[in-house]
Every structure is written in C-alpha cells, then in structure tokens.
Amino acid sequence: MHKKEISDLENSISFKFKDQSILRRSLTHKSFDSDNSNETLEFLGDRVLGLVISEKLINDFPNDPEGLLDKRYSKLVNKETCYKISQSFNLGDFILLGPTETSSKGNEKKNILADTCESLIGAIYSDSGYEESRKFIFKFWNKEFELLDNNNLIDPKSFLQEWTLKRYKELPEYKLLNQSGADHDPVFSVELSFKGYKKTTEEGKSIKDAEMKAAESFIRLNKIVK
C-alpha cells in the first residue's frame, strides 16, 4: 500500500494517524497476512463502537425502557450498518487481501467490509484514544441516528414471528434447502413457509441472513401489514 493511498483514506475519514502502521494493520485481512491481521483490532473496535453507541442512546433517549434501547442499539451496531458506513468512505479500496479473496472481490463482501470498519475504529482508539473514536463514530453514524424509527426497529424475522403467534399461535417454518460455495465464502438457501401463504426462498452468507431475507420477502409477497 502506498502512502498516497493511506493519506486518501485519512482524508476521507478526516483523521490523521500518529502511527500509520496501526492503520495498515486495521486494513490487513487474514487472507493477506494471518499473523498480522486486523482481527484483534476488529474485536476492540466492536467493543468501542458498542460503548459509544450505548452512551449516546442513553443520553438521547433517557426515558426509553431497556428493551427499546436494545432494539435501537442492535440497529446501529449490526453488520448491515457497519457495511453501509464502510461504503460511505470507500473502505473497500484500501483493504489488503490475499489472492483468493482478491479474485472473489473480497473488498465488496459485506462481512469483510463490516469487520474492517470495526477494526478501523479499534485502530483509531489504539492510536489516539476514546475521544477520537467517539468523534469518528458520531460523524459517520449521525445519519443512522437520524433514521432511527420506532416502527422500524423490529427486524423482519421477529416481526413475522410475532404476527404468526398473535394470529395463529404457531411459528413460521424455515427450512435449509442448500449450502453452496467455498468454505470461506458459503451461500445458504432457505425456504420459508407458513400455512397456506405463498412460500419464499432466499440466499444469504449465513443461515440467519438467509432467514432474515426470506422473512422480508414473505411479508412483502403476502402483503402482511406491519
């Protein structure tokens, strides 16, 4: 990675590292260098993100019950949101990947981008401490806080489960149809069925991801009103 590329990322996130080796490590996927990968920084960044988001939620919504705070929290720290944030400053352009991940466009994969976003937060914390990490998170999560909506906090799978239980006192059925792809990049196919409603089948990078997509499709296809 050239210095110009590192400085481009620093310019995009409006943060200059004191120690650029920490930034480089945060961008190093295990497929590129398993001994010096970003996994430890990702672990740290995940915790820092959780603390900053928790603190802000308690300050912004002091009267919310714990259950609602937890739903808001889940919405803000999940992989989908971290992936979305990573795209806002083209993080994929800077990730160091091994040949296999490079050929399979690893820099566009949701999990890799989301994990690297967390490792970048861990790197900022390691380089300059909590306050700078907090500034970074506030800057890039600001729009996500603005988009928080009480009616949109329940994920599709949870909503569908609540709906079927309330109306029929039964649960929808998720069936794993197939697993394909390489071990490091699997694809799961899941079918969702319930009573006489139209079935849906969706694919995802995990069973949970596929089930979530199937629930969303099921709600839309069967015109179930939220």
Residues assigned a catalytic role? 46, 118
Specify whether the CB–CB gap between 113 and 83 falls below 8 A.
yes
Rounded CA-CA distance 177/172 in Å is 16
Length of the chain: 226
Rounded CA-CA distance 147/105 in Å is 30
The strand pair at 173-180 and 200-204 is best described as: unpaired
Which three-class secondary structure state does DSSP give residue 80?
helix
Specify whether the CB–CB gap between 192 and 199 falls below 8 A.
yes
How many C-beta atoms lie closer than 10 Å to residue 144's C-beta?
16
